[in-house]
Amino acid sequence: MLDLSTMIYRIPALLFAISIHEYAHAQCADSMGDPTARYSGRLTLNPLAHLDPIGAILLVVAGFGWAKGVPINTNNFRNRREGVLKVSFAGPAANLFLCFLAALFMAVLNRMGMLSDSLYRFLLWMQLYNVWFAFFNLIPVPPLDGSRILSELLPAKQSWQFNSVVDRYGFYILIALVFTGVTSMIINPLANGYLFLVNGLLGIIF
Catalytic residues: 22
Distance (Å, whole) CA 169 – CA 182: 17
What are the backbone dihedrals phi and psi of residue 60, each rounded to the nearest 5 degrees, phi first?
-70, -45
How many C-beta atoms lie closer than 10 Å to residue 168's C-beta?
A: 11
Query: Residue 145 belongs to what H/E stretch?
Result: helix 145-153
The backbone torsions φ and ψ at residue 47, rounded to the nearest 5 degrees and listed phi first, read -65, -25
Task: Give the Cα separation of 141 and 150 in Å (integer).
Answer: 9
Among candidate residues 109, 146, 116, 125, the one with its CA nearest the CA of residue 17: 125
Sign of CA dihedral 107, 108, 111, 116: negative
